[in-house]
Structure 1
Amino acid sequence: MASGNIRYRNANYKLRTMICSITKRNARTTAWITKRNARTTVWITKRNARTTVWITKRNARTTVWITKRNARTTVWITKRNERTAVWITKRNARTTVWVTKRNARTTVWITKRNARTTVWVTKRNARTTVWITKRNERTAVWITKRDARALQ
């Protein structure tokens, strides 16, 4: 899958972009969410490295592609019988993610060996908050759908 380039300067490639601020202590990670042809692209940049997350919606299946350097982690999100199963494949290992919905809160449990990473996705007042907790530190990701800016 070819990665898109968000740095188009052509007026024909105006993007309706939502800015996501991902803060980690003193470092700041910027995430761009662009929408093109029913495809939502999330660009998460970290220093000199770039992690690209493609969220595609085809045939009632949402595919999230998370690429890191030369490795590719594929996240398959399928919806069957009111249950959402997320498969995260890494090489020959498989990580299971359970997505539960309780009281307007979606909890994503990502288990890795003996460690557990919890992702809370809350929706309040047109704001989607993603809480990613790792050990004792918490990373808050705010995804707002207001005042979308167009990149030219």
Structure 2
Amino acid sequence: MNNLTSEDRLEIQNLNARHFHSLDALTRVLDGNPAETWADTFHPDGTFQTVMQDGSVVFEAKGRDKLIEAHSSFPDISTTRHWICNLLIEPDPRGARSASYIIAMNIGVNPAHIIRTGTYDDLVTKHNGVWLYERKILILDAFSPTAE
């Protein structure tokens, strides 16, 4: 795919928003189980990874069942809110690549504080006519609190 239409870009932006609203499990806009809604943002055999700056894999889940399991096992799921910014969407021969910055905050304490920082590197492709993550990689910053 050489070009992305405005509609493609909006659909990918919406995918990104659905992903994080589901991940945080704090929204009242999306119906259904947050773990399943989060997994629904991936291809049925999609992959989510967390990696360090050196490329070492900290966490990986592949496939719908493992993604649901992963969401359900995240220890801070009910107290974390993700802020994503600078979403960049570029054409890729397979579909689209997207990248963004991430700051994750623990909102379960006063004052709230940063618990993770990094970037996302995503491969987004169409599955049955719908844009989904084929691969989503969280690359933790070297001095991200959870990277130390």
TM-score by length of 1: 0.33
Instruction: Judging by fraction of residues, say which structure has more strand.
Output: 1
Higher relative contact order (CA 8 A, sep 6+): 2
Larger Rg: 1
Normalised by the length of structure 2, the TM-score is 0.33
